[in-house]
């Protein structure tokens, strides 16, 4: 069994949020709490809502109602609430001078809003949207980079009982228009642009082109990030500059109490084919689930400063906004690239703003690790106490670097796994548990997850399908206008079992991800997760990043192909290629000897630094790579044709 890389301080366990909750219910150990939360999710989530003080203007009658089946479970039924009440209103009343949002632009500009100031900004935008006819149930797109106004936008739309649509800040007009049209949006909130790598990235022209294709959008409200914005008409759409906050003496906009199951936002996911899937999340369940995760898994509380390197169009964007503000802490945001103008920009940002909770993807860690330890060590990161990660499986060397160099060996790495449709996490460690490298800990509290073999039976010690057998508050309430597609995607394989599409492994009680089911490689009948191959490759000193895919083979079924980005100073060639083939063969066995090792300058990634293997596989096989609108640099896909 792998030795722990981090152990909790026994004297501090009782001071954590999860430790206090455990003690309040007379449970002697965390394992007892975990077991009870899974056995009786209604008890757990009801007590969580009370413990965290989530406000319900009308108390709910029942925590959980499964009368229509697990797939259509309803939570906090009969209750009325609003995300803005939980994240803004209560803190503006209780701790008005506490910091709510702290933002830094790539150009060095810094803005800070207290909770009282945030409330006035939210009211200013809510008043404008109300004047433009936006009300309960109307859809509003949010096409913004990570600005203060992004937080204001989500809370203002929620305050009115409207539905926000997080839109990736790098999308083109067609991708935006598809989402606005599918949701029947009436307004779009955007910026004229933002700064990245020292250059302005325009957004307004893209937003106008998208809106022109969706006749129902009548209002476009623009943040003047790059230049001034004047009110004008674009066809049938009114373009307006971002409003000023209401003054302290102005009448606030009332927060609309909505049913707990009222839609809060629609999170669209990109697929390989067909229209994007719109996962529906609601005010009651999403708020409670995300508040619990950030409180219990990341031990966030008032006074903490949380920063997660994410775009609002990825589920971790709404996650960090909702989770941080629901716990009365400070949300930290950054506009630009993590290594501009210098490779230490991210570490300088963390030190300058005294960030206490940091979230990042494994791929981004690998890319920053290539610059060495010195850029990290030149900054005081002693304020950090919790590290987080999600998005993909880890390799051991980058994980250890993140833990030991960035976290100084002091901080647990809370490595979580969930998804857009999950709303949050299936798997997560907690800061009261011992952690081994790369582990996901196990089931998150209140989550009845398991690993099944091909016959639907629990399996240990080998890779299987990650599943969930009971409902949870953050689960999507179906796919927007596509209930049958929802059932087919998640519930049709086994009765009352959510099949998530991830390969997972439970070994000696520790849980590990092995990649997406559709990324799995099967060589001569033997199943292999790409993370295992990539871990072997990046352990070689010449390799900075790697991606492994399966390519059809007439004898083996699939052949293993590897794409490699070299570390600075490394030289490609046949000798190195042979070394890398041997490295993988030695680590995984001769059965998994790579048929190809190809050198590339960059891998196709999303803005959140997640490698898009399906695009690599499509280019290798000459197939359509599908929707690439979420890529940071779509040119990296075409460049794969020149892989050497």
248-269: per-residue pLDDT in tens? 889 999 999 999 999 999 999 8
* pTM of the predicted protein model: 0.87
29-45: per-residue pLDDT in tens? 999 999 999 999 999 99
271 has pLDDT over 60: no
Region 323-338: mean pLDDT is: 97
Distance CA(173)–CA(193), nearest Å, equals: 14
Please report which confidence band the pLDDT of residue 644 belongs to, taking 50, 70 and 90 as the band edges.
confident
518 has pLDDT over 70: no
Range of the domain at 574: 520-642
386 has pLDDT over 70: yes
User: Is residue 578 in some structural domain?
Assistant: yes
Residues 6+ apart with CB under 8 A from 51: 21, 24
Q: Evaluate the omega torsion of the peptide bond into residue 341 and state whether it is cis, within 30 degrees of 0.
A: yes
295-318: per-residue pLDDT in tens? 999 999 999 999 999 999 989 999
Comparing 131-135, 471-475, 509-513, the range with the smallest average pLDDT is 509-513
Token reading at 43: 């008890």
Region 150-169: mean pLDDT is: 97
273 has pLDDT over 50: no
User: Is residue 66 in some structural domain?
Assistant: no
243 has pLDDT over 60: yes
Token reading at 189: 């909130």
CATH of the domain at 575: 3.30.300.30
- Cα 66 to the center of its chain, rounded Å: 28
Q: Distance of CA 287 to CAs 49, 54, 264, 416, 445, Å?
A: 9, 8, 9, 18, 15
Region 548-556: mean pLDDT is: 87
Tell me if residue 458 falls in helix, strand or coil. Answer: strand
**586-592, long-range: CB within 8 Å, 24+ apart, which pairs?**
586/536, 587/532, 587/535, 587/536, 587/539, 588/528, 588/532, 588/533, 588/536, 591/523, 591/524, 591/526, 592/523, 592/526, 592/528, 592/533, 592/560
Backbone φ and ψ for 375, nearest 5 degrees, come out as -60, -30
User: Is residue 447 in some structural domain?
Assistant: no
Distance CA(411)–CA(405), nearest Å, equals: 11
Please list the alpha-helical segments (H only) found in 530-627.
530-538, 574-588, 613-621
User: Is residue 510 in some structural domain?
Assistant: no
Termini Cα distance of the chain:
39
User: Is residue 551 in some structural domain?
Assistant: yes
CB 369 within 8 A of CB 339: no
Please report which confidence band the pLDDT of residue 525 belongs to, taking 50, 70 and 90 as the band edges.
low
Residue at token pair 């993909």 = 392
280 has pLDDT over 50: yes
108 has pLDDT over 70: yes
CB 346 within 8 A of CB 308: no
Region 460-480: mean pLDDT is: 95
396-425: per-residue pLDDT in tens? 899 999 999 999 999 999 999 998 999 889
Q: How many CB atoms lie within 10 A of CB 78?
A: 15
58-80: per-residue pLDDT in tens? 999 999 999 999 999 999 999 99
142 has pLDDT over 90: yes
Above pLDDT 70, what percent of the chain? Answer: 97
190-204: per-residue pLDDT in tens? 999 999 999 999 999
User: Is residue 150 in some structural domain?
Assistant: no
389 has pLDDT over 90: yes
576 has pLDDT over 70: yes
Q: Distance of CA 119 to CAs 55, 99, 166, 240, 452, Å?
A: 16, 12, 21, 21, 47
Region 129-155: mean pLDDT is: 98
Count of the separate structural domains present in the chain = 1
User: What is the per-residue pLDDT for 572?
Assistant: 93
Compute the chain's Rg from CA coordinates.
24
Q: Which parts of 342-420 are beta strand (E)?
A: 357-360, 386-389, 413-415, 417-418
């Amino acid at each position: 069994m792998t030795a722990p890389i981090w152990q909790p301080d026994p004297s501090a366990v009782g001071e954590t949020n999860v430790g206090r909750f455990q003690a309040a219910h007379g449970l002697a150990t965390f394992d007892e709490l975990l077991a009870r939360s899974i056995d009786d999710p209604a008890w757990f989530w009801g007590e969580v809502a009370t413990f965290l003080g989530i406000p319900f203007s009308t108390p709910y009658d029942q925590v959980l109602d499964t009368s229509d089946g697990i797939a259509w479970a309803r939570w906090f039924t009969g209750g009325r609430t609003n995300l803005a009440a939980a994240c803004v209103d209560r803190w503006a009343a209780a701790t008005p001078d506490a910091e709510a949002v702290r933002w830094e632009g790539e150009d060095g500009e810094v803005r800070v809003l207290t909770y009282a100031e945030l409330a006035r900004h939210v009211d200013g935008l809510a008043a404008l949207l109300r004047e433009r006819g936006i009300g309960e149930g109307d859809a509003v797109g949010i096409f913004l980079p990570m600005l203060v106004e992004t937080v204001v936008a989500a809370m203002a739309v929620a305050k009115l009982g409207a539905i926000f649509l997080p839109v990736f800040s790098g999308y083109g007009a067609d991708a935006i228009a598809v989402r606005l049209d599918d949701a029947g949006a009436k307004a779009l909130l955007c910026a004229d642009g933002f700064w990245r790598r020292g250059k302005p990235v325009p957004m307004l022209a893209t937003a106008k082109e998208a809106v022109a294709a969706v006749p129902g959008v009548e209002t476009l409200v623009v943040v003047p990030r790059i230049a001034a914005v004047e009110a004008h008409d674009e066809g049938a759409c009114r373009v307006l500059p971002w409003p000023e906050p209401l003054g302290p003496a102005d009448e606030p906009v009332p927060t609309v109490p909505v049913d707990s199951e009222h839609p809060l936002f629609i999170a669209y996911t990109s697929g390989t084919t067909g229209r994007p899937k719109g996962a529906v999340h609601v005010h009651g369940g999403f708020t409670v689930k995300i508040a619990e995760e950030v409180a219990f898994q990341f031990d966030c509380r008032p006074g903490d400063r949380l920063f997660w390197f994410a775009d609002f169009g990825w589920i971790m964007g709404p996650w960090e906004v909702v989770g941080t503000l629901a716990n009365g802490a400070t949300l930290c945001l950054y506009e630009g690239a993590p290594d501009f103008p210098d490779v230490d920009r991210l570490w300088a940002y963390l030190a300058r703003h005294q960030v206490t909770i940091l979230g990042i993807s494994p791929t981004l860690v690998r890319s920053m690790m290539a610059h060495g330890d010195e850029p990290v060590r030149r900054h005081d990161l002693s304020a950090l106490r919790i590290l987080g990660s999600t998005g993909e499986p880890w390799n051991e060397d980058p994980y250890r670097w993140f833990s030991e160099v960035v976290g100084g060996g002091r901080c647990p790495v809370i490595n979580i796994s969930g998804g857009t449709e999950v709303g949050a996490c299936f798997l997560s460690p907690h800061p009261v548990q011992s952690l081994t490298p790369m582990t996901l800990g196990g089931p998150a509290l209140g989550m009845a997850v398991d690993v099944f073999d091909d016959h639907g039976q629990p399996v240990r010690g080998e890779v299987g399908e990650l599943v969930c057998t009971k409902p949870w508050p953050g689960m999507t309430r179906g796919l927007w206008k596509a209930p049958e597609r929802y059932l087919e995607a998640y519930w049709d394989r086994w009765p009352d079992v959510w099949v998530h599409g991830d390969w997972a492994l439970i070994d000696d009680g520790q849980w590990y991800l092995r990649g997406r089911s559709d990324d799995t490689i099967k060589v001569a009948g033997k199943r292999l997760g790409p993370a295992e191959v990539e871990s072997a490759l990046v352990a070689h000193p010449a390799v900075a990043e790697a991606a492994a895919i399966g390519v059809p083979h007439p004898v083996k079924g699939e052949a293993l192909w590897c794409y490699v980005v070299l570390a600075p100073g490394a030289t490609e060639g046949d000798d190195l290629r042979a070394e890398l083939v041997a490295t993988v063969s030695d680590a995984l066995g001769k059965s998994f000897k790579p048929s190809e090792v190809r050198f590339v300058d960059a891998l196709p990634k999303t803005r959140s630094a997640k490698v898009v293997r399906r695009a690599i596989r499509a280019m290798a096989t000459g197939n359509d790579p599908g929707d690439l609108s979420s890529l940071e640099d779509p040119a990296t896909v075409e460049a794969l044709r020149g892989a050497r």
